[in-house]
Amino acid sequence: MNDMVKVILRGPLSNVFGKEEIKVDADNLLTLLYKLDRGSVIISNSKIRSGYIILVNGVDFRLLGDLSVKDTDVIEILPVNHGG
C-alpha cells in the first residue's frame, strides 16, 4: 500500500486524535478506519459505532458500492450529536 488518504476529523474527534487532519496509508475504507481508530472510538465489535457519519468525497460511504479509497480521496468523519 502506498495511498496516503486524507482524513478530516470534525468536532470533538479532532481533540480525541490530537489533529483535525490525518493522512492514513490504506487502500480501502475499513483498513483506513482500523488503522486510525486504535482506541476503538469509532469502531466497536467490527462495526462503525452509531453516532458517526463517514463521508468519502462528500458522499455517505453507505451509498457507495465500493469501499476502495485512493490518495486523491478525502474522508470526513463527523460525530452526530443529539440533544434532548
pLDDT of 10-67, one tens digit each?
Answer: 999 999 889 999 999 999 998 999 999 877 889 888 888 889 999 999 999 999 988 9
Question: Has residue 52 been placed in a domain?
Answer: yes
Task: Tell me how many domains the chain contains.
Answer: 1
pTM: 0.86
CA angle 3, 32, 79 (to 5 degrees): 130
Classify residue 84: in a domain, yes or no: no
From 21, 11, 17, 6, select the one nearest 79 (Cα to Cα). 11
| Number of Cβ within a 10 Å radius of residue 9 | 22
CB atoms near residue 69 (< 10 Å): 25
> What Cα–Cα distance (Å) separates residue 51 from each residue in 6, 11, 23, 25, 79?
21, 12, 23, 25, 6
CATH label of the domain that carries residue 9: 3.10.20.30
Full domain range(s) for residue 22: 4-79
At 43 the pLDDT is 87
C-alpha span between 84 and 80 (Å, rounded) = 13
